[in-house]
Structure 1
Amino acid sequence: MHDFDELKAFAEVMASGSLTRSAQKLGLAKSTLSRRISHLEARLEQPLLRRQANRLLPTEAGLVFHRYCQDMLKLAESSHEALAELREDISGTVTLEVHSALARGWMGQVLDTFMARYPKVELTLRTRDAPPSSLNSHSVHVCLGPMPENGLHQEPLGRLTRGLYASPSYLSQQPLLEHPRDLADHPWIDLLNTTQDGLLLHHENHGNYHFYPPRSRLRVDLTALHLDAIAHGKGIGLLPHWLADKREAHHPGELTPCLPNWQPAPLPITLLYAYGYQPRRVKALLAFLRQTMPRQWQYNEVAA
């Protein structure tokens, strides 16, 4: 059984390469720190450190053991935190990253509910469109779109259905749209090149049509600006049905579907979080996100 004081001593010397600096950081006498390293080496029956000039460097055994030492210290820290949380209210810091297409219409409206429900939690909310390659145990990311394997837990949350939209006032001045090929004659409002590789539209009776939008004179990188441009009659663009419905509820008559029988594939919405131990505040946030997910995102709603 390892002594955690000895493990901490070894990990600190590995980080600093100096007994003096490590002893100062740990608040120990240099002789006490040296004794702990010696006891650990005796317990393992192998030298872990060697002196070279004015530095302590790991031996081959030290390099191998250091990885396990770090794992044991992290596990001990997590176990202490988990036990401490059992005695306390849900509290502490948590970070939530949300795709910009979902932040304003969803998270902006339910955020106050979460903060009121957990008054001791400190939440940092960020918009981030690119999926992360790593997350710490106090962070959650809500991703929109296909997700490659990235070493994080990927939990399907729902799907975002989309369609073509324009302003009724714009369409009233244009020839009738009868087929996706007619879109080539209209200004295309692009959400920062999200359709630069084309847009595959599906019709239940006529199959697929691969539409390549014309070069757009207006490209934006915010969903809210994209929505505004389409609603203000600048052209035709691709919008989530959920966002278009919310816009129409507050500003009736600004948007209307175009070619409603031609639909692109829905985009998956995924919760990303680290594997392993989750603090109670992260579990609370994950449960809250599942509970407050808009009905239109649910798989059964899409199928209907």
Structure 2
Amino acid sequence: MPPVLDEFQGLSAFDAIMRHGNLGAGAEHLGISKSTLSRRISHLEYQLGQPLLHRQANRLIPTEAGTLFHQYCQQMLSLGERSQMALDELREEVSGDLSISVHPHFLRGWFNRLLTEFIEEYPGIRLTLTSNLQPPTREDDQVMLWLWEGPTRDSGLRDEVLGHQRQHLYAHPDYLRQHGHPQHPGELASHDWVNLIDRHHPDLVLHHPEQGEYRVSLPPSRFTVDNVVVHADHITHGAGIGLLPDHHVRTRSVAHPGQFEACLPEWQGPSIPVSLHYPFGHPPRKLGALLDRIRRHVPKDWGQP
């Protein structure tokens, strides 16, 4: 028996009797002699100050106190096992295989840098990173963690929202010099639009802190893509106006200033939830270490969950 559970010997003995009904079967289940099992039951009853079992023919039957105590006994044994597992896990190395699935928008930038730092800190980790435009599902039991952007459906996985990416309209300064700055969302219909698949078309709802919501019927996009990096590339090439996450624009502008200019900056697009998905239960230490790092490095300009 693990060391942390040594004090639970009496509880284990009583639980074995309750499950098997007699000394012989209970002792065999625990791998001890009948006399040892009997001593443990007697010691437990002495500690509690009342009998828990009485003999009836060849069986041991619980007293009223025994029936009541068994409910608490099972809870204490379960807690003891979980505490032992948690202590054992502290001795484990953060190592082994980790398979992660991400929305394609996270293949570059913040999350990719985070994973690089993670494997540098834990040389025993072997990461497999795949991208998927399909929402997380527990049917893929090879994946331990999903990072998703956008709405989700019930997947049977734990759903942890990290934050919300705010969005605004952006264009390249050259495009705005040639075509003019829109002064109201209603003017967007006369501009070229760069669309992201399944994100804003055909209607876009913008929100103003004073004027409220405005629904824009967008013109057909001459270029539609499913990746925010390529989407942003096309906007910087002067193809038109598009809705982009503010975090992506700010990050990219550090290395390439002057590529984006905000359009209608007081009008905000719908925020995009970003969430982690992973199996219920206590995560293995390698996954727990990665989850902790992700939570500590959520971009500061994401809105609160």
TM-score (norm 1): 0.68
1:120-178 Cα offsets, whole Å, 9 max, x none, are 11111122232122154861111111222221101111111111000001100113311
* 8 A Cα contact 1:192 1:220, kept in partner: yes
Distance in 1 (CA, whole Å) between partners of 2:246 and 2:214 is 20
**Alignment partner for residue 245 of structure 1, among 226, 247, 250?**
250
Distance in 1 (CA, whole Å) between partners of 2:100 and 2:302 is 19
Worse-matched range after superposition: 94-103 or 151-160: 94-103
**Which residue is equivalent to 1:256?**
261
Distance in 1 (CA, whole Å) between partners of 2:134 and 2:84 is 34
Structure 1 residue 122 and structure 2 residue 126: aligned? yes
Cα shift at 1:228: 0.5
Distance in 1 (CA, whole Å) between partners of 2:249 and 2:92 is 43
**Which residue is equivalent to 1:100?**
104
Distance in 2 (CA, whole Å) between partners of 1:182 and 1:296 is 29
Cα shift at 1:103: 2.6
**Alignment partner for residue 224 of structure 1, among 206, 225, 229?**
229
**Which residue is equivalent to 1:109?**
113
Worse-matched range after superposition: 82-91 or 180-189: 82-91
What amino acid is the match of 1:130?
Q
What amino acid is the match of 1:220?
V
| Coordinate RMSD, CA, aligned | 2.5
1:209-230 Cα offsets, whole Å, 9 max, x none, are 1112111111112211101100
* 8 A Cα contact 2:102 2:148, kept in partner: yes
SS of 1:297 mapped into structure 2:
coil
Residue 124 to residue 137, structure 1, CA distance change in 2 (3 Å): closer
Residue 112 to residue 95, structure 1, CA distance change in 2 (3 Å): same
What does 1:141-290 align with in structure 2 at a 5 Å threshold?
A: 141-290=146-295
* 8 A Cα contact 1:198 1:210, kept in partner: yes
Distance in 2 (CA, whole Å) between partners of 1:86 and 1:109 is 26
SS of 1:215 mapped into structure 2:
coil
Cα shift at 1:198: 1.2
The share of aligned pairs that are identical, in percent, is 39
1:32-61 Cα offsets, whole Å, 9 max, x none, are xxxxxxxxxxxxxxxxxxxxxxxxxxxxxx
Worse-matched range after superposition: 206-215 or 96-105: 96-105
What amino acid is the match of 2:99?
T
What amino acid is the match of 2:199?
T
What amino acid is the match of 2:134?
A
SS of 2:301 mapped into structure 1:
helix
* 8 A Cα contact 1:96 1:124, kept in partner: yes
* 8 A Cα contact 1:138 1:279, kept in partner: no
What amino acid is the match of 1:149?
D
Structure 1 residue 91 and structure 2 residue 95: aligned? yes
Residue 111 to residue 129, structure 1, CA distance change in 2 (3 Å): same
SS of 1:266 mapped into structure 2:
strand
**Which residue is equivalent to 1:133?**
137
Work out which of the two has the higher radius of gyration on C-alpha atoms and give 1 or 2.
Answer: 2
What amino acid is the match of 2:287?
V
Could you list the structure 1 runs, at least 4 aligned residues long, displaced by more than 6 angstroms after superposition.
78-84
* 8 A Cα contact 1:138 1:278, kept in partner: no
Can you give the 5+ residue segments of structure 2 that lack an aligned partner in the other structure? 1-18, 21-81
Cα shift at 1:265: 2.3
Residue 79 to residue 131, structure 1, CA distance change in 2 (3 Å): farther
SS of 1:295 mapped into structure 2:
coil
Can you give the 5+ residue segments of structure 1 that lack an aligned partner in the other structure? 3-77
Residue 79 to residue 127, structure 1, CA distance change in 2 (3 Å): farther
SS of 2:262 mapped into structure 1:
strand
What amino acid is the match of 2:224?
R
